Amino acid sequence: MNAFNTGPQAANSDDAISNSNSSDRAAASDRRDDSIAREERDINVLLGSYADILFVLMPFTVIGLFKAWQHGIQGFLLGYDLSVAAAILAGLALVKFILGLISDARMSRYRERLVFLVAGTVFVVLVPSLMLSILVLLSADAPRFVMFVQPVLLIAGIMAYSGAVTSTNHLLRHPGA
């Protein structure tokens, strides 16, 4: 109630302010709920991509444990297995980028970005990991730097795949990005 005017008009004015405040609170609550729902979808997408990564890495983990048991950790790190895993993840990343580009017409506006990401994945992860795996496979004794390069390539493959899934979903959800 208005302290200066205690008539029916003041009561209506107070009701209008109260209704305005409650609609603002409801709108803010809806925005917060939408934000939480978007965040949950993003987390679910990330968890799904991490599950894919774990399933790709599972056979290589078993092979790695066996090789480490037989020949020590150097036997595994000097083998070609990590490079093959990195190449598989890079290939999956390429598929996700291209699938995102051709599956939704809205993605055509981002084709330059996606082509850059495809080229970067091929240049940084796919070709080096395939070359390294072939060179290690064909050599009698692999050079020691292979022990350090292969894990880096594997991490780059994991980043490329999870980045492909995340960026494609982000570009679809936020068209102005």
Residue 36 pLDDT level (bands cut at 50, 70, 90): confident
pLDDT for the residue numbered 137: 92
What integer pLDDT is reported at residue 35 of this predicted model? 77
- Please give the pLDDT value at position 100: 79
In the predicted structure, residue 9 carries a pLDDT above the cut 60? no
The ranges assigned to domains in the chain are 51-173
| Long-range contacts, stretch 168-172, CB < 8 angstroms, 24+ apart | 168/96, 168/97, 168/99, 168/100, 168/107, 168/114, 169/42, 169/45, 170/42, 171/100, 171/107, 171/110, 171/113, 172/100, 172/104, 172/106, 172/107
Higher-pLDDT residue of 171, 153: 153
